[in-house]
Structure 1
């Protein structure tokens, strides 16, 4: 059995590698992703489109799990920090939380919340 942390770490590893097929393999075909500030995306096609759009804006990222609260294999909440680099080489850092629901080792629902991105130069002052 896969724990929530193992599943979350695996999907973020695939995302950092920009392996969209691997990212989608972590979701049930009818999974629902609730992005911060946007409408819910249901199913692989909608999640694919959302992810491709994100990749087109941020070609590089790294993610660190800061805290975790969970219910074994069925659900968890992760506090994270992500470092992003945009197409112009601008770097930003943002913190957020992601709530995940899991069935049979795959995400059925994801709710994503984030703080406003902070330019890296401003964050180090």
Structure 2
């Protein structure tokens, strides 16, 4: 059985490699993605567009899980730190929390809360 942490690590691995098709395979077709400070996005097409827009601003990305909390087999919270590299080569860190719900081995809902990026 794949754990929620395995699913999250696999999704972030795909995201860091800019493998959008593999990233989307981690989401239910009607999943809702709640990016920090933006309206919710529903479904693969909307999540793809949001991700492609993110890549256009930050072509470099590395993410590590700093903490994890779970109270069931279908939901968890992950504290993370991302290292971002922008299109000009500038680097910054971004700390946040990601809340996820899972059904049938894929995300049905993902919600991000993030601090402002800090230059490295």
Q: Which residue of 2 aligns with 1:30?
A: 30
**Counterpart mapping for 1:30-69 below 5 A:** 30-69=30-69
Q: How many residues align?
A: 120
In the TM superposition, residue 2 of structure 1 has moved relative to its aligned partner by 1.4
- The residue number in structure 1 matching 2:109 is 109
Cα distance in 2 between the residues matched to 1:110 and 1:64: 17
Give ranges in structure 2 of 5+ residues lacking alignment: none
Let me know the Cα RMSD of the aligned residues. Answer: 0.7
Q: Is the 8 A contact 1:16 1:60 kept in 2?
A: yes
Q: Unmatched 5+ residue regions in structure 1? A: 121-125
**Between Structure 1 and Structure 2, whose CA radius of gyration is higher?**
1
Query: TM-score if structure 2 supplies the norm length?
Result: 0.98
Instruction: For 1:40 and 1:27, locate their aligned partners in 2 and report how far apart those are by CA, in whole Å.
Output: 14
- 2:19: which partner in 1? 19
Task: Tell me, in whole angstroms, the C-alpha distance in 2 between the residues paired with 1:88 and 1:73.
Answer: 41
Moved beyond 4 Å, runs of 4+ = none
Alpha-carbon deviation of 1:72? 4.5
